[in-house]
Amino acid sequence: MPKLSDFENEALLGGAQPLSAFADKLVLIVNVASKCGLTPQYEGLEALYQKYADKVLVVLGFPCNQFKGQEPGGAEDIAEFCTSIYGVKFPMFAKIDVNGKNADPLYQWLKAETPGSNNADIEWNFAKFLVGRDGEPIKRYSSQLDPMQIEADIVAALG
């Protein structure tokens, strides 16, 4: 079975980013959008990243425009929005599809391999996946779930 480190995605502002760079880290993967009612979740995601970065948690943001066109901008627009409005410092990636025939391989893997996910489509922006330090998916979380409600699972996974 593949592990997180087997994937490579394009960084938001260009350049291939092997996800092996995050090997041995606890990873929270989120499909994000800047014009969504859930966009304020960036605050909680950044707070978790800042609080646990030294304990090897990394948040990875994947912009997606598949849900009512709520991520319409280009890479520079997305980067500017995330940093100026929400102070995002966690790694951001190029816009991807998370569902359908053009779904990014990372998301195909997450949906297929995360316990309880049952290969179900992503329901909306800000769906979250926690991937263990061993590179294997641990849990999928609803778009509606506030990122801070994942903190107990993060602490447990960090041991």
The catalytic residue positions are: 36
Residue pLDDT, tens place only, 87-133: 999 999 999 999 999 999 999 999 999 999 999 999 999 999 999 99
Q: What is the pTM of this model?
A: 0.97
Residue 49 to residues 62, 67, 98, 105, 118: CA-CA distances in angstroms? 15, 25, 22, 24, 28
User: Taking residues 72-86, what's their average pLDDT?
Assistant: 96
pLDDT for residue 2: 94
The structural domains of the chain, ordered by start, are 4-158 (3.40.30.10)
pLDDT-derived band at 1, boundaries 50, 70, 90 = confident
The confidence score (pLDDT) of residue 18 equals 98
